[in-house]
Structure 1
């Protein structure tokens, strides 16, 4: 373990070298998402060197969680791995990029043909690569272009208490807690269930966190009974040397992904949910300026009482846009629920 920690700055660089010389251990494919409309299905996965990882538990102490976090970030992405992705007889052979990412799209099959649609991922073992598991499957989330209602939500400090504006607190939470011991904001589960009508309407999570945290976020949402949906994270390779950058940097990718969802579902009107700590108000304002009629309402959790004047100016600026939705700053989920009930977005 100590040797792994001492060599962490070099292990990503050597990922491709290890493949060439046959020194990689077993490989695993992490299915990340598979979603789309009646025309296209978008698929993404990640190829990494398999590492032993125990399941999260409320009984795990801080030291056990720290070890698990170190293993998560110390693992090597595997470039140039050949992967077969299959969807309803359509097959694509892909090579993972420098971050181990594979992505593609398929022509969609009508959901009426089968109750559950799945995408399968399998490693085409070559050059000494050995898969930890022969096949990995992922259920497809498919909604018509003109489906009426959808939700787009941030994660850090919107759903998950993260202290994203405080690097020290954020880092400690990231490594000392697991999916079962991280805490959601009170009332989030009830609010999201109401907006989605208990999962009937789609919800998409768009975050600046990196893909190393995908399993934690997925398990956290399920454990806390928060409606699940495609999780769109940032393609940013992080390791032990820069773990503190997770969730930081440019948030332009969030804007791009939100606009991609708006284009994918042109008839869908969205609720946007975020927080005031990491530029969500400004990002969502940009979305409103381009798609004012496509947004039903915006809910922003106030991380602090700073910059009240700036928030008021932003709200007034949006009022000048024809058919602009309201941007509502709330202290907690109950305030958001009250507003949503008053405007009949959710039932009483």
Structure 2
């Protein structure tokens, strides 16, 4: 019996990348993953599993929007809108986050999008991620894009369109900035995948109050959560933010799988690209950048401020305790300094949201 065509082609790619040069030749790990996806996908299709879409929260302006989603295989008994639930009713997704890591992605699938009365056709990447920038004009506010791979499996994705007159935005890290897990960074993936109860995650004191205070001063301020966490934990993080009173907004996560250059994607590169993309999407916004001093947030934010000096209002750095520093990177001292340069935006540091709010008030940035 011959080898199925998807597996045959994947094995051929693994053996020989064809005419690719060394610079664009996929890493061996990526080619192995492609073979795995082809084999498992073929088996699931043989079991009559079908495609399902997991929508993520997108963003945009009057000039265009960014739509995000993930294409997965699901059993015939799984409803098409399994992932398409209000954040206040995501009980199954929040409690059983490990199922998102056990799912099988469907790479390179065609996805249709209906938004603003216009229909678009895009394609998922080799990791099953849909990341599409659509040139569509929408008024400011909350919108919903309809996504489907075939009639009957439609889902909706939230899209936040920022008002053109808004001048302040908020970008926030997640781990150790709004949420404390009290685990070493290498174990965060396991934690986010297999922890059972939301109560096991601790909110950073005062941070919800700080964000709500900023929202009262700037009611239409966009809030974007930028993290090196995997898209797999999107439902879990969304639930945590909702239950602890954080403002709603897009989450910009990443895919942990192999790339053309290595076994894992670079977290700092993901944050750098995401920040630059936000600056390009909103050239008139000045961002309040919130992070912690346990990893690379201070240097990443400082570098962004150098590249885009007109797009940074302030940098807020939460200072980790000594025990949190040890869990973050193995040392009791901060990994990087959070001091601002003489010509850079104000950089304020404090152990929690209460201290950061007081620092903003001392600087005259909040009444």
Shorter-chain TM-score range: 0.7 to 0.9
Between the aligned partners of 2:171 and 2:144, the Cα distance in structure 1 is 23
Between the aligned partners of 2:158 and 2:113, the Cα distance in structure 1 is 13
Between the aligned partners of 1:145 and 1:164, the Cα distance in structure 2 is 41
1:164–1:170 Cα contact (<8 Å) kept: no
**2:147 pairs with 98, 104, 121, which one?**
121
Between the aligned partners of 1:212 and 1:38, the Cα distance in structure 2 is 30
- Aligned runs of 1:85-96 on 2, under 5 Å? 85-96=113-124
Which residue of structure 1 lines up, in the alignment, with residue 235 of structure 2?
Answer: 215
Shift of 1:186: 1.5
- Aligned runs of 1:232-243 on 2, under 5 Å? 232-237=252-257
User: Secondary structure of 1:200's partner?
Assistant: coil
**1:278 pairs with 295, 304, 325, which one?**
295
Which residue of structure 1 lines up, in the alignment, with residue 341 of structure 2?
Answer: 319
Which residue of structure 2 lines up, in the alignment, with residue 287 of structure 1?
Answer: 304
**Cα pair distance change 1:70/1:143, threshold 3 Å:** closer
| TM-score (normalizing by structure 1) | 0.78
Shift of 1:310: 5.3
**Cα pair distance change 1:303/1:254, threshold 3 Å:** same
Which residue of structure 2 lines up, in the alignment, with residue 187 of structure 1?
Answer: 206
2:142–2:160 Cα contact (<8 Å) kept: no
Which residue of structure 1 lines up, in the alignment, with residue 316 of structure 2?
Answer: 299
User: Secondary structure of 1:215's partner?
Assistant: helix
- Aligned runs of 1:112-191 on 2, under 5 Å? 117-124=143-150, 134-163=153-182, 165-168=184-187, 171-172=190-191, 174-179=193-198, 181-191=200-210
Q: Deviations over 1:85-140 (max 9, x none)?
A: 1112221223322211122222232417xx75321011226xxxxx6xx3211232
User: Secondary structure of 1:86's partner?
Assistant: strand
**2:64 pairs with 19, 40, 57, which one?**
40
**Cα pair distance change 1:28/1:169, threshold 3 Å:** closer
1:150–1:196 Cα contact (<8 Å) kept: no
Matched, 1:97 2:138: no
User: Secondary structure of 2:176's partner?
Assistant: coil
Which residue of structure 2 lines up, in the alignment, with residue 242 of structure 1?
Answer: none
Between the aligned partners of 1:249 and 1:309, the Cα distance in structure 2 is 17
Between the aligned partners of 2:225 and 2:290, the Cα distance in structure 1 is 10
After superposition, the CA RMSD in angstroms is: 3.2
2:181–2:200 Cα contact (<8 Å) kept: no
Shift of 1:41: 1.0
1:206–1:254 Cα contact (<8 Å) kept: yes
Between the aligned partners of 1:285 and 1:193, the Cα distance in structure 2 is 25
Between the aligned partners of 2:309 and 2:249, the Cα distance in structure 1 is 24
1:28–1:48 Cα contact (<8 Å) kept: yes
The unaligned stretches of length 5 or more in structure 2 are 1-32, 84-88, 323-331
User: Secondary structure of 2:270's partner?
Assistant: helix
| TM-score (normalizing by structure 2) | 0.74
**Cα pair distance change 1:12/1:309, threshold 3 Å:** closer
Task: Please say which of residues 220-229 and 9-18 is displaced more in the overlay.
Answer: 9-18
Between the aligned partners of 1:181 and 1:338, the Cα distance in structure 2 is 28
User: Secondary structure of 2:53's partner?
Assistant: strand
Q: Deviations over 1:214-255 (max 9, x none)?
A: 1111111111111011111113339xxxxxx99x85321101
Large movers: runs of 4+ above 3 Å? 9-13, 21-24, 51-58, 163-166, 168-174, 177-181, 304-310
Between the aligned partners of 2:109 and 2:102, the Cα distance in structure 1 is 19
Between the aligned partners of 1:152 and 1:310, the Cα distance in structure 2 is 19
